[in-house]
Chains A and B, each alone.
Chain A
């Protein structure tokens, strides 16, 4: 436990990052970023996906090392080699993925890594309780963690960092797992910590929550600081959104296909839970029509992934119905939905869509192997020719077709997956982040495939974190935020700013879905 030395008591800035650069292969994540956090303040770090927020905070927390730049904590320069270094300088991070142990008690989780040699359970628990009380965190130290809700577990994560006497706390998107009242509670807790002289950096994209909680905001865009330490009291949300999204000119959208036909997929009042047991999304209503690409825009983690899983049949819904081509498929298995004409391109390519340890051919026939049976056998010839067909039609560069699928590059993996799904001429296509991580050629190839399907009369639903992509190829755009739909836009006429701001706000804009 470090006590700040006396001469830093006078230093008003607890964190000062200057000219921080960090490059990864193929991308510059941080390009000379600047950040200054005042002592005892709550500071928001804002930016879209890919703006560089997480990278910057990982540098501050000692997970990454910057390529260059200056890092000062309470006026003293530091070079963190690992998170332990950062912790001893007083910087602690609460990640989005909790690092907690369900079978341990709250107190055991809090003290793991910094426990005294001999643990007197009663003493430790009361110490933890005292610290919790000091900051308004209501937890029962002796309770086993698995009994706690996500919001309560987050409190334990915060306690962990406080226990190590962190003077600078970084919270990465903390409100995604909280209910609205828990968000208010968190705000109060953070305020108490700030009053205690600690500094908090709050990564978020939820502007409406931040204005209530934070004192200042720094906005990052494309790896650079576009606004530094704006006082929240005198800045409005729209301004912040504009700064985050930028005034980039809207890219010209490509030619539209034929006018859309009847609705092939109807989603009525659909709700579902996330893995953590809270509502991932609820009360969602929309339709997808034949001959249109419906884009679903949103920051990651707002329910899109779960929505795609539910439509594909991999996750149960807990309310509402799904109607495809006039038939209710709400409780049908994924395979049945495929046979009825629903193709799914999952976000998790190698984990869900493809079997990682099997061959290319084996993966290619995943959807159709039952039709390739000759008695109990799968006809090797038919499998091979089917696979070759997919390979050539969809431009997959593959060597030996009996070789392991893991040998394919990301772009080719995706082409294979997409090709396999689209081969059956589906009437509905659900594509979740289909171009993520691909190079320019790969992105174009996949986009072209989806457009082709649209032109042939399929109803295509495309979920993407890349707003520009959706603006370029979608016919209609819905924005999802916090598990609900926040607006419908026409990509031909809507501005990037408009849509971008809808992604960040909790306001309902009138829609005709």
Chain B
């Protein structure tokens, strides 16, 4: 019987990953049409509204770009680790840890001038994210403990830490017994760039550019990519793996932490439980779609942000937010599938299986 099998293509299909993303999007839109029709909506009206709200005018762009910031930074965090074959699943928690640290700085320096306060908050955020990542980094570097699970568990710990702070020691005394953290000082707000887009956009863009350049053009980045491609080759050329693993995972956490700090000073006006809002997990997917390349993260983040913002906007038309969530999931699966098929072709077995032994 002829069995279908996947075999590595000699050359990946031209267009590769961007094409895969495009196909994923196309499949998703198609499924979306079915879903919307099923719920009694007019797909054309809905889709055009989605587009308008996310990419239609400068105001829409500003909202989308704001959303792209945490997605992009989280994606960058995951991509930097991913360039070396490491999985940082803890971006969600590291974003929160960053936000916690930034909020703490705000509590301490409530009367500092704006620029200083924001700067210190962001530095604190970077530190917060890095601290949360140290445990998994050391465990992986020295003991070989799989970082997927350690970072995943710390997500849950960080969420609860935020909850505890908001319900407990940091509860706003003026909030009528609702568990809320106090509002941030007025000056702890990133200035606006245009429309609704805030300064965090420039910070995030700068970080992404620096990271892309570093991974692509520096000796450090070169060693990272060698280690990610083949451990044996890394040892062969004198690269110390444990040290690299440690630094990369901590750096990844720091970047995610920064995202938390920017969210806090840019979009939010106080520390909340939903400060990370799924960005950490979305970041993993952004990074995967960008093939773990920091340079691709920005574009993917903007597109992803557009999908999310568009999805939010149609709620006012009576479409439940779940439709947008489902659409996102279909985009992802479509892109995953197309990505695999761009690198592997479906062939049919005529010989029996088992690896061909040496021909002697």
Asked whether any CB of A lies within 8 Å of a CB of B in the complex, the reply is yes
Chain A residues with a Cβ under 8 A of chain B:
24, 27, 29, 47, 49-55, 58, 62-65, 81-83, 95, 312, 314, 333-336, 338, 344, 346, 348, 351-358, 362, 366-367, 369-370, 373, 376-378, 380, 407
| B235 engages A314 (CB within 8 Å) | yes
- Give bound CA distance, A65 to B233, whole Å: 37
Q: Are A82 and B360 in contact (CB under 8 A)?
A: no
Contacts of B218 in A (CB 8 A): 376-378
What residues of chain B lie closer than 8 Å to A377, measured between beta carbons?
217-219
In the complex, chain B residues whose CB is within 8 Å of the CB of A336: 238
B229 & A356 in contact (Cβ 8 Å cutoff): yes
Contacting pair B219 A352 (CB below 8 A): no
- List residues 336-360 of chain B with CB under 8 A from any CB of chain A: 351-354, 356-360
- What's the tally of chain B residues with a CB closer than 8 Å to chain A? 27
Minimum distance in angstroms from B125 CB to a CB of chain A: 24
CA A24 to CA B358, docked complex, whole Å: 12
| Alpha-carbon distance between A82 and B230 when the two chains are bound, in angstroms | 34
Q: How far is the CA of A346 from the CA of B235 in the complex (A)?
A: 13
Q: In the bound complex, what is the Cα–Cα distance between A24 and B359 (angstroms)?
A: 9
Identify the closest chain A residue to B214 (Cβ).
A376
CB distance from A366 to the nearest CB of B (A): 5
Question: Which of A47, A55, A346, A370 is B359 in contact with, Cβ under 8 Å?
Answer: A55
Partner of A355, one of B229, B354, B358: B229
Q: Chain B 245-259 against A: per-residue CB contact (8 Å), 1 yes, 0 no?
A: 000000000000000
Which 9 pairs show the lowest CB-CB distances between chains A and B? A335-B238, A82-B352, A355-B229, A357-B229, A352-B232, A355-B233, A376-B218, A50-B360, A54-B360
Using known A-B contacts A357-B228, A377-B217, A378-B222, determine if residue A62 contacts B233 with beta carbons closer than 8 Å. Answer: no
For A334, the closest partner residue in chain B by CB is: B236
- Are the CB atoms of A369 and B217 closer together than 8 Å? no
B142 to chain A, nearest CB (A): 20
In the bound complex, CA of A91 to CA of B236 (Å): 43
Contact A370 B219 (CB under 8 A): yes
18 sampled A-B residue pairs with Cβ under 8 A: A29-B360, A51-B360, A54-B357, A54-B360, A83-B352, A314-B232, A314-B235, A334-B237, A335-B237, A336-B238, A346-B236, A352-B236, A353-B233, A354-B233, A355-B226, A370-B219, A376-B219, A378-B217
Q: For residue B230, which residues in chain A have a CB less than 8 angstroms away from its CB?
A: 351-352, 355-357
Q: Enumerate chain B residues within 8 angstroms of A65, measured Cβ to Cβ.
A: 351-352
Residues of chain A with a CB closer than 8 A to B222's CB: 362, 369, 378
Q: In the bound complex, what is the Cα–Cα distance between A407 and B356 (angstroms)? A: 22
Known: A52-B360, A370-B219, A378-B219. A62 touches B11 (CB 8 A): no
B360 x A373 contact (CB < 8 A): no
Number of A-B residue pairs, CB cutoff 8 Å, is 100
CA distance A24 to B214 in the complex (A): 46
Which of B351, B352, B360 is most buried by chain A, counting CB atoms within 10 A of its CB? Answer: B360
Q: Are A358 and B226 in contact (CB under 8 A)?
A: yes
Q: How far is the CB of B244 from chain A (nearest CB, A)?
A: 14
Name the CB-closest residue of B to A81.
B352
B160 CB, nearest partner CB in chain A, Å: 35
Whether A369 and B233, one on each chain, are in contact in the complex, defined by CB atoms closer than 8 angstroms, is no
Residues from chain B with Cβ under 8 Å of A49 in the complex: 360
A373/B219 in contact, CB under 8 A: yes
Nearest Cβ in chain B — how far from A84, in angstroms? 9
Residues of B within 8 A of A338 (CB): 238
**Contact of B354 (CB < 8 Å), options: A63, A352, A376:** A63
The contact string, 1 if C-beta is below 8 Å from chain A, for chain B 199-220, is 0000000000000001001111
In whole Å, how far is B236's beta carbon from the nearest beta carbon of chain A?
A: 5
Q: With A53-B360, A62-B352, A65-B352 as given contacts, are A407 and B11 in contact (CB-CB < 8 Å)?
A: yes
* Residues A63 and B357 in contact in the complex (CB < 8 Å), given A358-B229, A369-B219: yes
Cα–Cα, bound, A338→B236 (Å): 10
- Closest CB in chain B relative to A454 CB, distance in Å: 24
B171 at the A/B interface (Cβ < 8 Å)? no
Contacts of A353 in B (CB 8 A): 233, 236
Q: For B360, list chain A residues within 8 Å (CB).
A: 29, 47, 49-55
Q: A351-B230, A376-B218, A377-B218 are in contact. Are A362 and B236 (CB under 8 A)?
A: no
Interface residues in B222-279 by Cβ distance below 8 A to A read 222, 225-226, 228-230, 232-233, 235-238
Task: Pick the contact of A352: B233, B352, B358 (CB < 8 A).
Answer: B233
A151 CB to nearest chain B CB (Å): 22
Which chain B residues border A335 with CB–CB below 8 Å?
237-238
Chain B hits for A344, CB < 8 A = 236
Chain A CB within 10 A, most for which of B218, B226, B230, B236: B236
Query: Inside 8 A of B352's CB, which chain A residues have their CB?
Result: 62-65, 81-83
A133 to chain B, nearest CB (A): 31
- Contact assessment for B359 and A29 in the assembled complex, using a CB-CB cutoff below 8 Å: yes
Q: A54-B357, A367-B237 are in contact. List 11 more A-B contacts (CB 8 A).
A: A63-B352, A81-B352, A82-B353, A335-B237, A346-B236, A355-B225, A355-B226, A358-B225, A369-B219, A376-B220, A377-B218
Q: Which residue of B lies closest to A335 (CB)?
A: B238
Query: A357-B229, A358-B226 are known contacts. Are A333 and B238 too (CB-CB below 8 A)?
Result: yes
Which residues in A have their C-beta under 8 angstroms from that of B351?
Answer: 64-65
Q: Considering the chains assembled together, what is the distance between the CA atoms of A346 and B233 in angstroms?
A: 11
Contacts of A82 in B (CB 8 A): 352-353
Known: A52-B360, A53-B360, A55-B360. A83 touches B354 (CB 8 A): yes
- Minimum CB–CB distance from A422 to chain B (whole Å) comes to 16
> What is the minimal beta-carbon distance from A49 to any residue of chain B, in angstroms?
5
A126, B323: Cα distance in complex, Å:
59
| Distance between Cα atoms of A378 and B223 in the complex (Å) | 11
The CA-CA distance from A346 to B236 in the complex, in Å, is 10
B143 to chain A, nearest CB (A): 19
**Complex-state Cα separation, A260 to B354, whole angstroms:** 48
Cα A400 to Cα B353 with chains together (Å): 36
Contacting pair A58 B226 (CB below 8 A): no
Q: How far is the CA of A189 from the CA of B94 in the complex (A)?
A: 61
Contact partner of A314 among B214, B228, B236, B356, CB < 8 A? B236
